[in-house]
Structure 1
């Protein structure tokens, strides 16, 4: 069953911020599980299709962390990192920095979210700041909601803004059709549009604010 925390809002429309920045609003969707046999890409691919059909986002970038794994041992940042680490880090940094909003697709492992997802989040800082984050979770009876509640605390520390509504899929295995849509597609699509509408609103507002005045993590 798919749930969202509130009654959804209608689709918002892409707008040109007052600062005149007319480039498309960019959404990055991160697949947080790298486990073999994972179900996440089934859910993530469905959500990406919904996001691509939303009027608020001109570009949707799918970032599968299984393709961009960073070492868990942080290097000495005073020295040049190994070439492969630098390649992955720089590539992810550019894509995260280019995004105006994020959606994290995450399972729930032992009442929390996957370690590779936390590791990836920790490798970056400014790329997350003053941008909105939404969540699509999945798991057993909890639907991954405990993982989402912990991620909200993590992103708050990174000065990101998490939107209120989220999507959660409870026991999703076997509940997606051959065309990649969930059995309750109409209900799920309405929930997705609601969250995407909130992300669009925050992405537009925060992009305008960042353009007017670069965000300062410490204001004093």
Structure 2
């Protein structure tokens, strides 16, 4: 399992012009192949009068699923170059359609490759891309004497407390990078004389965006 991966949080569009041909890239995040295929059909309907609607998409934390199409352009001059941009940038769970309006001048094989890659890069540049880190969720049950120590240790280790539930006891859920888990648990055990109960919950991928925490199960 990778320790981190990049993905599109909010899609965007970008356009370049090569010898009067317009290349319009539309980028979106996806969670399934069905979403990708639906998006591609939407773009074909939106740009029904275009010469080509070429696409590429990738799914999975290890790029398990990769698909692309030249949509009538010469073989390997559109879809594959677009896919290479996604793979080269390390982008996951993302689909892109590049729409071409023909400007009357042939670009040649190399020109097409550069144009489709350039449009894809422009679309990504206008999207919000985040990097998700692999982590663990840890639930700690302690008494009111222990919560202050927990909060102090978490602060010194720059760890995020996701929630704290106060009843007759205190339950806190933390987000912890795997390489910090052992040390944190050791410090909590020592600080509470072994009275704190710790339970590992879900493995997750997480990212921080504008003070918001984005979490998904790994």
Choose between structure 1 and 2: higher strand proportion.
Answer: 2
Larger radius of gyration: 2
Choose between structure 1 and 2: higher helix proportion.
Answer: 1
Q: Per chain length, whose mean CA-contact separation is higher, i.e. which structure has more relative contact order (CA < 8 Å, sep 6+)?
A: 1
TM-score normalised by structure 2 residue count = 0.23
TM-score normalised by structure 1 residue count = 0.23
